Structure 1
Amino acid sequence: MTAHNWIDLSQDTDTGIETLRAHFEGHAYDPHWHDSYLIGVTEQGVQQFNCRRTRHDSVPGQVFLVEPGELHDGDAPTADGFTYHMLYLDPHWLTREVSTVFEEAPVDSQLSFVSTLADDPRLAFATSQAFQTLHRGELRIVRQRAMDQLLERLTGHLHWRTRYGDDPRLPQVAHKAREYLHAHLHHDVGMHELALACGVDRFRLSRAFKSAFGLPPHAYLVQLRLARARHLLAKGEQPADVAIALGFADQSHMGRWFMRAYGLTPAAYRRRCSNLPDR
């Protein structure tokens, strides 16, 4: 991270919701995804990112909304960079909370954002208020009220959609490979092994997988491991132990990928989420 870039990250003890405020100039993030719902507001500058196979330019006051598993990156196209604040909402928490507002969810469905960018001043205000109360550690009743107000505004930008399953538009081999990677997250999976499990050659597999999910298999596996690393680090586990447990070559290898995806080192992330000292 350059001297002009900074990240301020915290985690709410009651809900586990992470709050982040950051500033970037130039390149911010490599393509990556989260297992949380992201909702944030651009404060200053232009935040440029690719998501849902479309390039977006978020300007001050706009709300950006990214679902779990959606591949996205981040860049500053102007010299002054961009500043934003954001909340990471756990999918189980969000589903439980909005179920009190929505009708009962249809069978085999999940929450989805209507659009990636929203020009909704009241949603932007509610997002900023929720961010401030959680990030500053206000009284519990104040934090809960702010989150309720955010949910009230957010429901207008949510809908139930069919849970992702086997999409007939995508090659079956890509789905099979993804399932294999999820099942063998901790293993040193090779392309030959993966292709053998899917019954195709590795060149066809690579093309089908990247076409379906936007990343080649090896990069997708890294993203799986990074998402799991965030959970383990937030619980206070040491970076070196996490790297070994998740199949990275060593701590520095995990650290390089972690920094490219999230803008923080694993140790810094652990420290800010767990409030535990480094060993």
Structure 2
Amino acid sequence: MTPSTHPIFWRSPDLPYVELRHVVDGREVSYAPHSHKEWSIGAILDGQSEFLCEGRLHQVEKGILVLMNPDAVHACHPCKDSPWSYYMMHLDKHWLASLLKSAGVRPELDWRDSRLDTLLASHFYQDFVSLCRSLMSSQLTSIEKDASLKKYFVRLFEYLDHVVEAEKTLLPPNRLYQVADYLNQHCLEDRSIDLISDEFGFSTGYLVRAFKRHFNMTPHAYRLNRRVQLGQQALKAGQAISEVAQAVGFSDQAHFQRVFKQRVAATPNQYRRSMFTDQKAPLGKV
């Protein structure tokens, strides 16, 4: 039996656009600032936590949904002496954008960020918890799970897009995004931050301060975060942890495991093995 302190991951080869994590006892969990390529939604099942998203600090507790856009830097720390349990779901943004367009919720096929960090709405909260339980159930087919996911997120985004201002205020170009893109594209390189700063016309001190202020992490931490993301993809594909550590730019397996756990709240082995995976009811078969 999986210890209650270990996260349980669910994913299915028939529904590759979704991944679900359930933490039963997360009192010792603390996430360093990190981001995901997917759109993410979580339900607080028990306890209280401070939730930092894009520099905005929230106090969240049971009954609240948290929402995170792709690449939005966020962090979470349980309050002292508080229990801490939650579901966290990650959805491929291209799948979600396609669903919203086909359902007539949005006119465009390109992804557009949602505009809330948290949502306090009991019916959406309860339905999301029920959805998570359904995904982890062995009693439902992949067709049924796929239908439930689509139905829920169509309703959710109809609500989110209605209650939030539709007009998006554009910001002027920011060269820090060029640095972030460089770090994403060259995350496996160990080029010094001094040289990167010079290439983009910044002093090192200014770049580190400005980058941390804007992205809530230093350039070095941002590069590590991207390596962890690549490591997650490789672990999903079944590669050995030692091979993954080397492939994503870590000098040894211990360093990889330490950095990975800080950002995922699970060791690489827990991430790879502590999961439910549907095998009995493939999509398209009853």
**Partner-residue secondary structure (3-state), 1:79:** coil
Larger RCO, structure (CA 8 Å, separation 6 or more): 2
Per-residue CA deviation, residues 124-172 of structure 1 (Å, 9 max, x unaligned), is: 12212221121224212320221122113221224788799xx4274x2
Contact 1:195/1:205, CA 8 A, preserved across alignment: yes
The aligned counterpart of 1:126 is 127
The aligned counterpart of 1:74 is 76
Equivalences for 1:27-46 in 2 at 5 Å? 27-46=29-48
Question: Gaps (5+ residues) in structure 2?
Answer: 278-286
Q: Distance in 2 between matches of 1:274 and 1:161?
A: 41
Q: Distance in 2 between matches of 1:64 and 1:121?
A: 13
Per-residue CA deviation, residues 217-249 of structure 1 (Å, 9 max, x unaligned), is: 100000111111111111111121111111111
**Partner-residue secondary structure (3-state), 2:249:** coil
Per-residue CA deviation, residues 184-240 of structure 1 (Å, 9 max, x unaligned), is: 121112112212321332122212222222211100000111111111111111121
Structure having the higher strand fraction is: 1
Percent of paired sites with the same residue: 23
Q: Distance in 2 between matches of 1:169 and 1:26?
A: 40
Q: CA deviation at 1:77?
A: 1.2
Contact 2:8/2:275, CA 8 A, preserved across alignment: no
Contact 1:38/1:86, CA 8 A, preserved across alignment: yes
Question: Gaps (5+ residues) in structure 1?
Answer: none
Per-residue CA deviation, residues 88-143 of structure 1 (Å, 9 max, x unaligned), is: 1111111121111224217xx53222311111122112212221121224212320
Contact 2:44/2:60, CA 8 A, preserved across alignment: yes
Equivalences for 1:53-202 in 2 at 5 Å? 53-101=55-103, 102-105=105-108, 110-137=111-138, 138-155=140-157, 156-158=159-161, 167-168=171-172, 170=174, 172=175, 174-202=176-204
Contact 2:6/2:270, CA 8 A, preserved across alignment: no
The size of the alignment, in residue pairs, is 267
Among 257, 260, 272, the alignment partner of 1:258 is 260
**Partner-residue secondary structure (3-state), 2:123:** helix
Contact 1:12/1:134, CA 8 A, preserved across alignment: no
Contact 1:41/1:84, CA 8 A, preserved across alignment: yes
Q: Distance in 2 between matches of 1:272 and 1:6?
A: 8
**Partner-residue secondary structure (3-state), 1:88:** strand
Q: Distance in 1 between matches of 2:29 and 2:185?
A: 33
**Partner-residue secondary structure (3-state), 1:264:** coil
Q: CA RMSD in A?
A: 2.4
Q: Distance in 2 between matches of 1:200 and 1:80?
A: 43
Contact 1:61/1:124, CA 8 A, preserved across alignment: yes
Q: Distance in 1 between matches of 2:238 and 2:54?
A: 33
**Partner-residue secondary structure (3-state), 2:41:** strand
The aligned counterpart of 2:280 is none
Q: Distance in 2 between matches of 1:161 and 1:267?
A: 44
Instruction: Return the TM-score normalized by structure 2.
Output: 0.84
Among 222, 226, 236, the alignment partner of 1:234 is 236
